[in-house]
Structure 1
Amino acid sequence: MRCRGLDFVGFQWAQTMVFAIEEINREPALLPNITLGYRLYDNCVNLAVAFRAATALISGVGDTFTDYSCTGKPPVLGIVGDPMSSHSIAISRMLGLFRMPLVSYYATCSCLSNRKEFPSFFRTVPSDAFQVKAMIQIIKHYGWTWVGTIASDDDYGQFAVKTFIEEVNTFGCISFSETLPSVNAKSRILQIVNTIKQSTARVIIVFLLESQFIPLVKEIIHQNITYRQWIASESWTTATGILNEETFSSFGGTIGIAIRRGEIPGLKEFLLRVRPVFNPNNNLVNQFWEEMFKCEFPNKMNNKSSSDLGSSRICTGSEDIESTQTAYSDVSDLRASYNVYKAVYTLAHSLHNLMSCESGKGPFENNSCADITRVQPWQLLHYLKRVNFTTHYGDRVSFDENGDALAIYDVMNWQRADDGSVKIETIGLFDESAPAGQELTLQEDKIFWNFNSNTPPRSVCSESCLPGTRKAARKGEPLCCFDCIPCAEGEISNHTDSIECVKCPADFWSNPRRDQCVLKDIEFLSYEEPLGISLSTISLFGSCVSTTVLAVFIYYRNTPVVKANNSELSFLLLLSLILCFLCSLLFIGQPLHLTCMLRHVVFGISFVLCISCILVKTIVVIMAFKATLPDNNVMKWFGAAQQRGTVFVFTVIQAVICIIWLSTASPVPFKNTEYQNSKIIFECNVGSITGFSCLLSYIGLLASVCFLLAFLARNLPDNFNEAKFITFSMLIFCAVWIAFIPAYVSSPGKYSDAVEIFAILASSFGLLIAIFAPKCYIILLHPEKNTKKSLMRRAAPKK
C-alpha cells in the first residue's frame, strides 16, 4: 500500500533508526561479530496498515503464513515502533502472544503499562502517567485548584485526562472537561470555545495531537480569547505549526511538558547523505525525495498519461539536499528521534547481554543460555527487562517493572525572542527519579506569563478562607467552590482553608479574629475595681461607726439611757453589727476555699447574733412594762442570765446549722462558664442549697418574730419606747432582704456578690441607725434628757 504524502519528521525518525543500527554495527565493543539488519514500514497513520506491517515482521512478507506450526526462526527479534498509542495497543496485544518485544519511542498512553495485557511492550518515552505527574507538580507549585481540560477522543487523550482528573481531585477541582472528536465538527468546536469563555478557570490543560488541536486554535484566535494559561501535553508542546505571531496573543506563555531533548553526534551529516535507491523493496527514500523536491522519477512518469507529463518535473537524484531547510534536516531539538535512537540501542544492548551469557549460568531452563543461532524473541525479552546502560548524551536507559522508561521531561515555555520572533524556551526539568519534593525544578526568572502583570495567574473557584473562618460548600457546586464562614464564638481555625472550626478548651475563648484561643477573663469582685473599693470603704466605715457607738456606750455606760436599754445586750448588739459590717469584706476578692466557707458562716452567725440581741431586747421591753402591773414578777424569770442564755441558744442553733452544712456539702470556689461563655466568673458555689436555705430561713424566722413582737409593743406608753425603733429597724431589715432575693437571682457574675454585700450593709446600717441613732442623739446632743426622771415620765393620757 502506498501512503499519500510523506511526513518529514516521521522520515527523520526512520533514518535515525538506520543511523543507530549502522553506528552499532561499526562499534567493536557492542555486538562483536554480529551485524544488525532492519526492515522499515510506513504505517500511513492508519491502524490497518500498521497492524499488517507488524504481522509481516513476525511472519514474513508474504500474503499467507508459511509456517503454520510457528516453530521456525522468526524474521525479526524485536520491533521499534509504533509511535501512536492506539496502534501500539492493537499491535502489542498480538505481539504479546508471541512474546515479541515492541519498543515504542512515542506511544505514551498509560494503559500500555499494564503488563498483564501487554507483557512484551516497552517504551523509551515516558508514560502519560508521568506526564500527568509533571503537570500536577506545576499546577500545585502555582496553587491552581480550578482548571479545565480538553482531550482527544482516543486512547491517548482519554487515559491521560482520566488520570489527570483523578490526581486533581485530591487537591482541586475540574471546572470543565471537554472531548474533541477525531472528526472536528464545527459545532463541537464552537461548543468547546463557548465553554472556555464561560468558565472562570484560567488554566486549561490540553491532551491533543498538534493536528487535532489546530482547528480549535483557529477558532480561539478568531474569537480573541486571551488571558488563559495553557498547559500543553508533550504531543504539542514543541508544535511549531501552532506557535507563530498570529497565535501568540492567545497562546503566548504556554507551559508544556516535552520529551527529554538529546544530542546524536553525526546524525545531521547522515541525514544529508541520503540518496534515492531504486529498489522495489525500499521505496521510502524515493517517496521522500519526490516530496522534498516536488518531482517524480521517470519510472513513475512512464505510467502517466501524456496530458500529465507537462506538469511533472523529473527527479534526477542529484538534487542538492544540503541546501534545504526542513523538519527532516533539523536536529536542533531532537526529542522523538532521540527516543528512536535509545530504542535501537536498547535492543542492541539486550542482545549483547544475551550473547554475554556464561554457559551454566544462564537464566533459562537448566541454567542454560540462549543460542545466538537459534535465539527466540522471548529470550531477548528476558534481557530487555533488565537492560541498563548510558547513552552518549549521559542519559541512563532502563525499564521499570511495567516496561516504562525513567521519566525525565523538559518544561517548556512559549515566549518571544530578543528579535521579536516567537520561540520555545526550556524553563525547567521534571525528573521522577529525584528525591521526593525535588522532582520539579523551574527557572522562575525565565518564564513568560501572557498576562498584564507578567505574573502567574490565579485560578481558583473561591479564594482561600483565612484563619478565623471555615469553608462551607456551595450546594450543587464542586468542592473547590465554597463560602468562607466566620467561626462561632469560642471556636477558632488557625490555618488557611480550614474545613471546620475547633472548639477552644474549657478555660479558653476565641480572640476577636477567631484564629487563636486565649485564656478567658476571670471575673470576680476585686478590691482594685471601683465597685469593690466603694463597698469595702462603706463596710469599713460602717464598722468604724459601730465601734464609735460602742465606745460612746461604754463611756456613758452608767447613764440612764444606756442602763435603761440593757447595756449588756447593747454592747453585744454593737459587736455583732461590727461583725456584720466586716463580714461583707469576705465577699470581695478572689474566692478561696477558706473565704467561701467563712463568708456565709460569719454572715449567718453574726446576723443571728444581731437579731437575737434585738429579739431579747424586745422581749425585755415588753416584760418591763408588764412588770409594772401589781403582783407581776415576770422579770425575775427573765433576768440578765436568761437574756444571755437566750442569745447564746439562738446563736448556737445557727452555728449547728452551719456545722452540718459545712460537713455535708461546704461551699467551694467555682468557675462559672455557663452564664457568660467569654469569661470565667469566679464565684463560690454554696454546695448544699438546703444548708444555705436553712441558714437564711433561720435568720428570716428570727427577724419575723422580732418584727412581730416589736410591732405589738410599739404603742407602749413610754416617752422613750425602744420598741418603736426596733419595729422600724426590723421593717428596714425585712424590706432589704425581701428585695435582695430577686435582685440576687437576676444579677450576673460579680454583681450578685455586690448585691449581697449591699443587702448586708443596708440592713446593718438600718439596724445601727434605727436603734442607736436616737440614743446617741440624747447622749451626745441632749444630755439634759439623759436622766432617770425623763425616762420614767409617762406620756399624758389622751382625751
Structure 2
Amino acid sequence: MKAVMSSFLLSNLSLSILLYSYFSYAMSSSLFPSSCQLQGQFNLNRMQKSGDVILGGLFPVHFFSSIPDLSFTSQPQQPSCHGFYVQGFRQAQTMAFAIDEINNNSSLLPNVTLGYTLYDNCVELGIGFRGAFSLVSGQEEQIILHSTCVGNPPVVGIVGDSSSTRSIAISSILGLYRVPMVSYHYFATCSCLSDRQKYPSFFRTIPSDAFQVRAMIQILKYFGWTWAGLLITDDDYGLHAARSLQSELSVSGEGCLAYIEVLPWDKDTDELRRIVNVMKKSTARVVIAFVHESHMINLIEEVAKQNVTGLQWLASEGWTATAAVLQTTKFMPYLCGTLGIAIRRGEITGLREFLLKIRPDLHHNTNYGNSMVKFWEFTFQCRFAPAPAGWLEGGGALCTGQEDLENLNTESLDISNLRPEYNVYKAVYALAYSLDDMLRCKPGRGPFSGHSCATLQSLEPWELLYYLERVNFTTPFGDQVSFDKNGDVVPIYDVMNWLWLPDGSTEVHNVGEVKGSAFKGEEILLDEDKIFWNFNSKKPVQSVCSESCPPGTHMVRRKGEPKCCFDCIPCSEGKINNKGSKSFISFFLIYQHDILNFIFIKYNMQFSIFRFLHLSPFARLLGMHQLHAAFGISFVLCVSCILVKTMVVLAVFKASKPGGVTSLKWFGAMQQRGTVLCLTSIQAAICTTWLVSASPTPHKNTQYQNDKIVYECAFGSAVGFAVLLGYIGVLAFLSFLIAFLARNLPDSFNEAKLITFSMLIFCAVWVAFVPVYISSPGNYADAVEVFAILASSFGLLITLFGPKCYIIIMRPELNTKKSIMGRGSES
C-alpha cells in the first residue's frame, strides 16, 4: 500500500507542479506582451449559460475515462469518457436549476443575472484539473504563451469537485489565488481538507470525515459495540477515515478495531478472498465500511460466494443510500439490516419540472459529445444518426428527440431521495447569498482597504471569499447553512437502515439522525422500533472482544492485543473485585447528607459542612494519596465548628448568671467565624509544611509477602502525618472536655450531651486507627483509613443531627419557641 500511495503522491505532485507553473504564468500580471497564442484545446464536455457573473461547476457526468498512453514522441490523443452517470448529470442539472431559480428571485441578486459553465470531470483527476483551470482562466487552452489573451469571463467561484483526491489537488492551486471552491459530494469529505493553511478557499456543504467518524462512534457507543472490523478504500477518503477512526477510538476509549483491510481498486479475486477470510475468522461481528459503491460490489460478491452471514454492516455515506446495485435478492441476505449514515436528504421544489424540460441539442458537438444527447440516448436506449464513435450508450432504435420524457419511469427523474443534489443546491445558494451580501455593501463602510466595497465591474474571487466565510442563510427545507473557520458546514447526517420487505423488495429508510453542535458535541437520535435486524434474535448483535469480568476475577490484558481484549483471572487471596461498589458507602453518606441539608434548609436550620468528610474517602479509594492533606483540613474545619458551638453553648448559660453577660461579647457571629478560620488555618499551615518538605510518595514494600511487591503510600514524613492527626485529636479532646463540663445544663437549650457522645465516638475511632494503619500494608492501609473516615463522620452525622431530624419530622410540636422555653423553665 505504501508503494501505491508513494506512486500516487508523486504523480499528483508532478501534475500539481506542472499546472502550478502554467497557472502562475497565466495569472501573472507582470507580463503584458502585445499578443498571445493558443497552443491547443482541451475539448472538455460542458454546459454553458451566459450571465453577468459566471459560476463554475465540476460534475461526474461520465463514470469512466480512457487515458491514452504517453509515448513522449508525439502529441498525445485527447482522453475519452464513457459510461453515462445519471446521478452526476442530475447533480449538474440541479446547479443549472438553482441558478435559474435565483435569477427569477427578485429579492436575491436583483438586477444581476447569474450564468454558469459546467464541466464533466469523468471521475478522472487530470480531466478535473483541466476543467478547473479552464474555468478560472476563461480559456480551454493547454498553454498560454502570453497573458493578454482575452476569452470568456472567468468564474468567481466553483461548485465541486466530487472527490477528496481531486479537491485536494485542485484546491492546492486555487487556494493560492483565493478562488472559492464549494464541494458537495460524499467522496469529498476528507478531514485533511479542513486544513485552512493548505486549502484557504475550500468549502463544502457536506460534513467532513472527522464528523462522519464521530457519528460512527456514536452509533457504536449507542449499541455497545466495542469490537469492530474496518474496511477502507486505498485513497484519501479511506486512508484519512481509518487514521481518524483509530485516533478517536483511542482518545474516547469507546472501542477497538479488530482489523483494518484495504480493498483493491480492481477486482483482485485473491486479495478479496483473503480479506473475506479475515472477516470470517475474526470475533468482531460489526464491520465498518468506509468504501465506494464499486469497491463494495466486488467485496460483497466474494462474501456471497463464501456465504458469510451473521455480520452487522455499518456503512459510510459513500454507499449507504446510493448503492442500488447492492439492494438485490442476491446480496440482501448478507446486507439486510445494514446501518449507515447518509447525506441529509432535502426537498427541491420545482426540480422535476425543470428536468422534464430537457431536450437534446443536436447542433452542439465536442469530442465528448453533448451531455443532453448522452442523457437522451441513455434514458430511451436509442441513438441519434449519424452516431459518432463512443456516443452509443446501449444501442437500440434511432432517437427522434420527441420521445415522451414525462411518462417515463426513470432514475434520472426520481427526486424522492435528493442528497448530493441537495448539497449542490445549498452550495449554489451559498455563493449567491455571498455575492448578494457583497453587492449590498455601502461605500465607505466596506470591509476592504480604506473601507471600500467590491464592485461587479472589478470583482475579484478573493473579495467573494471574504463574504462566503461569513454567509448564513436557511434553505426552504429549514436547514441552516453557514461555514465554520475551517470551511465546514454545520454537520448533520441521516441514519439509514436497509430493510427487506416481505414481498422481496428492499427499502432504505431513515431511523434517526446525528447532529453536531459546538456546545454539546455529537447528538444521536434513533428510533429503535423502526430498525430491522438481520438476526434470528431480531435484536442488535453483541460485538465485544472480551466480556466484562465477573465478581471474584479481575482483568488482565492480552499481550500484543488491543485494550478491548483481556482475560479474567481469579483475584489474589484476600482480595475481591466488585466493580461499582467500592465507593458505595461514601456515595450513600453523601446522599444521606444531602437529605439532612434539605431538611435543615427547609426548616431554616444550620447548613452542615460534613460533605467534605464524605468526599475524602471517595478520593482515597481512587488512589489519590495526596489528599491526606485535604482530609486533615476538612476534619479540622468540621471539628472546629463543633468546638466553637460547644463554647457558645457554655457561654450562653454562664451569661444567664449574675455578672456573666459580658462573656457573650466574645462569642458573636464574627468572632465564631474568625475562630474557625484561625483553627483551620493552623492545620493548613501544618499540611503545607509537610507536603513541601516531604510529601507522600509511592513505596515498594518487599517485606510483607515474599512472592509479591506491595506498593504503599509512604508518609514522606511520619512526624508530619502525626502532627496532622494530633492536631485533630487536640481539637476533638477540647470539644469533648467542654461538652462534658456543660452536660448538666438544661436540655432545652443544650447540645452538650450530643457533642460529648459524638466526640467520644470520634476519639475512639481515631485512637484505634493509628496502630491498625501502621501495621497494614498497601491497599489494606487505604481501607483502614477509609473506614476510619467514614466511621467517624457517620458517627458525627448521626449523633449530632439525628435527634434534631427526629424532632423536626416526628415531633414538630416540640420544635417551637414556646415549647423550648416551657421545658427550660420547668428544669
- Normalised by the length of structure 1, the TM-score is 0.60
**Bigger radius of gyration:** 1
1:160 counterpart residue number: 241
Residue deviations 1:657-708 (CA, integer Å, cap 9, x gap):
xxxxxxxxxx99975996999999xxxxxxxxxxxxxxxxxxxxxxxxxxxx
Separation (CA, whole Å) in 2 of partners of 1:291 and 1:203: 39
Flag the 1:368–1:679 CA change in 2: closer, same or farther, 3 A: closer
Q: CA deviation at 1:274?
A: 0.5
Find the aligned partners of 1:668 and 1:393 in 2 and give their Cα distance.
Answer: 70
Contact 1:148 1:201 in 2 (8 A): yes
**Alignment correspondent of 1:80:** 159
Task: Tell me, in whole angstroms, the C-alpha distance in 2 between the residues paired with 1:174 and 1:679.
Answer: 38
Q: What SS does the corresponding residue of 1:321 show, helix, strand or coil?
A: coil
Percent identity, aligned pairs only, is 51
For residues 340-371 of structure 1, what are the alpha-carbon distances to aligned partners after superposition, in whole Å with 9 as ceiling and x for unaligned?
Answer: 00010010001001101111111111111101
Give the match for residue 793 of structure 2: none
- Per-residue deviation, 1:316: 1.3
CA distance in structure 2 between the partners assigned to 1:495 and 1:214 by the alignment: 46
Match of 1:275 in 2: 359
Matched, 1:117 2:198: yes
Q: Which amino acid aligns with 1:315?
A: C
Written as runs of structure 1 = structure 2, the 5 A alignment for 1:662-701 is none
Cα offsets for 1:106-151 (capped at 9, x unmatched): 1111111111111110000111111111000010111111110000
Partner residue of 2:177? 98
Deviations 1:14-63 (A, max 9, x none): 10000000000000000000000001111111111111000100112332
Aligned to 2:258: 175
Q: 2:92 aligns with which of 2, 11, 14?
A: 14
Picking from 177, 185, 193, the partner of 2:276 is 193
Match of 2:383? Answer: 296
Q: Does the Cα contact within 8 Å between 1:237 and 1:257 map onto a contact in 2?
A: yes
Q: Aligned partners of 2:86, 2:230: CA distance in 1, in Å? A: 30
Tell me whether 251-260 or 288-297 shows the greater mean CA deviation: 288-297
2:296 paired with 1:213: yes
Q: Is the 8 A contact 2:382 2:395 kept in 1?
A: no
Q: Which residue of 1 aligns with 2:716?
A: none
Q: Distance in 2 between matches of 1:452 and 1:424?
A: 20
Q: Which residue of 1 aligns with 2:342?
A: 258
Are positions 1:53 and 2:131 aligned together? yes
Report the 3-state secondary structure (helix = DSSP H, G, I; strand = E; otherwise coil) of the residue aligned with 1:20: helix
The one-letter amino acid of 2:178's match is: R
Native 8 Å contact 2:264 2:272 kept in 1: no
The answer on whether the counterparts of 1:5 and 1:291 sit within 8 Å (CA) in structure 2 is: no
Q: Structure 2 vs 1, CA of residues 679 and 10 (structure 1 numbering), >3 Å: closer, same or farther?
A: closer
Aligned to 1:258, the other structure's residue is in SS state: strand
- Provide the secondary structure at the position in 1 that maps to 2:168: helix
SS of equivalent residue, structure 1 residue 495: coil
Map Cα deviations across residues 142-196 of structure 1 (whole Å, 9 max, x no partner): 1111110000000111101111111223322211000012123111100100000
Structural mapping, 1:342-361, within 5 Å: 342-361=426-445
The alpha-carbon distance between structure 1 residues 675 and 143, as it changes in their structure 2 partners (threshold 3 A), is closer
Q: Does 1:42 align with 2:42?
A: no
Q: 1:127: which partner in 2?
A: 208
The CA deviation string for residues 305-347 of structure 1, in whole angstroms up to 9 with x for no partner, is: 9xx9x97632211011123222211111100000000010010
- Note closer, same or farther for the CA distance 1:345–1:437 as it changes in structure 2 (3 Å cut): closer
Q: Is the 1:148–1:177 contact (alpha carbons within 8 Å) kept by the matching residues of 2?
A: yes
Matched residue, 2:285:
202
Say whether the 8 Å CA contact 2:383–2:399 is kept in structure 1: yes
Unaligned runs of 5+ residues in structure 1 are 503-513, 516-666, 681-799
Q: How many Å separate the matches in 2 of 1:267 and 1:466?
A: 60
Matched with 2:700 is: none
1:462 aligns to 2:540 (yes or no): no
Compared CA separation, residues 364 and 492, structure 1 to 2 (3 A)? farther
Q: Does structure 2 retain, via aligned residues, the 8 Å contact 1:276–1:317? A: yes
Q: Is the 1:466–1:497 Cα contact (8 Å) retained in structure 2?
A: no
Q: Determine the structure 2 residue equivalent to 1:779.
A: none
Match of 1:381 among 465, 468, 471: 465
Distance 1:131 1:359 in 2: 43
Q: Which amino acid aligns with 2:271?
A: R
- Please list, as runs of the form range in 1=range in 2, the aligned pairs for 1:356-755 lying within 5 A after superposition: 356-417=440-501, 419-433=503-517, 436=520, 439-495=523-579
Q: Deviations over 1:283-307 (max 9, x none)?
A: 1111111222222223546x899xx
Distance in 2 separating the partners of 1:73 and 1:317 = 30
Q: Describe the SS at the equivalent of 2:232.
A: strand
Distance 1:494 1:78, change over 3 A: same
CA distance in 2 between counterparts of 1:181 and 1:668 reads 68
C-alpha displacement at 1:438, in angstroms?
6.5
- Report the RMSD for the aligned CA atoms in angstroms: 3.2
Q: Distance in 2 between matches of 1:283 and 1:432?
A: 41
Cα shift readout 1:77-105 (whole Å, capped 9, x = no counterpart): 00011111111111111111111111000
**C-alpha contact 1:272 1:321 (8 A) present in aligned 2:** yes
| Cα offsets for 1:472-505 (capped at 9, x unmatched) | 111222221111234334545443699xxx9xxx
Residue 306 (structure 2) aligned to one of 223, 226, 229: 223
Q: 1:496 to 1:168 in 2, by over 3 A?
A: farther
Partner of 1:248: 332
Indicate which of 308, 311, 316 corresponds to 2:400.
316
Match of 2:82 in 1: 4
Structure 1 residue 2, shift from structure 2 partner = 4.5
* Matched AA of 1:291: F
Q: CA deviation at 1:416?
A: 2.3
Is the contact made by 1:214 and 1:242 (CA closer than 8 Å) also made in structure 2? yes
Tell me if structure 2 keeps the 8 A contact 1:412–1:426.
yes
